[in-house]
Amino acid sequence: MSSEEAEILRIRAEEFLLNAERLCDEGFYDLCVFNLEQFCQLMLKYKLLIKTGAYPRTHSLVRLLRDLSMIHQEVSDLLTKEEQLIMLTKLEDAYISARYFPRRYEPIEAKALLRFVKEVFKPVVERV
């Protein structure tokens, strides 16, 4: 994959985050959470792509983080701290539940996940 294609992944990821913020503000919490998961997934794939030249064909945030932690140890903190792992698995579950199940996300859930992504996940992944 070319650097141009990698850059498209990064830009698309950032657009998902911006969209998640807008959706949360407008009260569309299910779609907000789905967009947060998409941001995380694409950002991890982008980082793996620029660091290794490839990324696994998976939707699992935990799997992508494990792969990235082999390159950058600090990323493993997201997987070893209980509260952070719980937030990640909630986001990972959103990939399926926001698309296929009649699961509704409460405002408090969406806002907590948005804070986690912006204040914890994003800064850690940006340092890679």
Report the CATH number that the domain containing residue 119 is assigned in CATH: 1.20.120.330
**What is the share, in percent, of the chain residues with pLDDT greater than 90?**
86
In angstroms, the CA 59 to CA 96 distance is 10
Q: What average pLDDT does range 18-39 have in this prediction? A: 97
Give the mean pLDDT of 103-126.
96
Averaged pLDDT for residues 107-127: 97
% of the chain at pLDDT higher than 70: 99
First to last CA, the chain: 19
pLDDT digits (tens, 9 = 90+) for 39-64: 999 999 999 999 999 999 999 999 99
CB-CB neighbours of 38 under 10 Å: 22
The pLDDT score that the predictor gives to residue 64 is 97
Number of domains in the chain: 1
Residues 1 and 49 sit within 8 Å (Cβ to Cβ): yes
Type of residue at 90: K
Which pLDDT value is given to residue 16?
Answer: 98
Q: pLDDT, tens digit, for every residue of 67-84?
A: 999 999 889 999 999 999
Residue 1 has pLDDT above 70, yes or no: no
pLDDT digits (tens, 9 = 90+) for 83-104: 999 999 999 999 888 778 888 9
Is pTM beyond 0.85 here?
yes
Q: Could you tell me the residue range of the domain that residue 109 belongs to? A: 3-126
Long-range Cβ pairs for the range 41-47 (8 Å, 24+)? 41/95, 42/9, 42/10, 42/12, 42/13, 42/16, 43/9, 43/10, 43/13, 43/122, 43/125, 44/68, 44/125, 45/9, 46/6, 46/9, 46/10, 46/13, 47/125, 47/128
Q: What is the mean pLDDT of the chain?
A: 94
